[in-house]
Amino acid sequence: MTADHTIVMELLYASHAAAQRKTPVRRVDAPACQVVIRAAKADADDDDMERLTLLALGTAICASDLTAVLADHKNITTQQLLDELVVARRGQGAADTPMPDLLLAMRSDDPGQAADLLGTLIADDHDAFLDLIVELGGYAATCVSLLAVLEISTIEDTLAELEQSMRQFFAGKQPPRTRGAAGERR
Give how far Cα 75 sits from Cα of 52, 68, 86, 127, 159, Å.
Answer: 34, 10, 18, 36, 23
For residue 39, what pLDDT is reported? 93
Q: What average pLDDT does this structure show over 144-160?
A: 96
- More confident call, 182 vs 24: 24
Taking a C-beta distance cutoff of 8 angstroms, is the pair 139, 99 a contact?
yes
Cβ atoms within 10 A of the Cβ of 64, count? Answer: 25
Say how far apart CA 73 and CA 186 lie, in whole Å: 13
Taking a C-beta distance cutoff of 8 angstroms, is the pair 153, 164 a contact?
no
Is pLDDT of 142 > 80?
Answer: yes
For residue 143, what pLDDT is reported? 95
The percent of residues above 90 in pLDDT, for the chain, comes to 57
Taking a C-beta distance cutoff of 8 angstroms, is the pair 7, 51 a contact?
yes
For residue 71, what pLDDT is reported? 96
How many contiguous H segments (helices) and E segments (strands) does the chain have? 8, 0
Q: What average pLDDT does this structure show over 145-150?
A: 95
For residue 5, what pLDDT is reported? 84
3-state DSSP call for residue 177?
coil
- More confident call, 14 vs 174: 14
Residue count (the chain): 186
pLDDT digits (tens, 9 = 90+) for 84-123: 999 998 888 888 889 999 999 998 888 789 889 998 998 8
CB neighbour list of residue 64: distance below 8 Å, 6 or more residues apart? 78, 103, 106, 107, 185
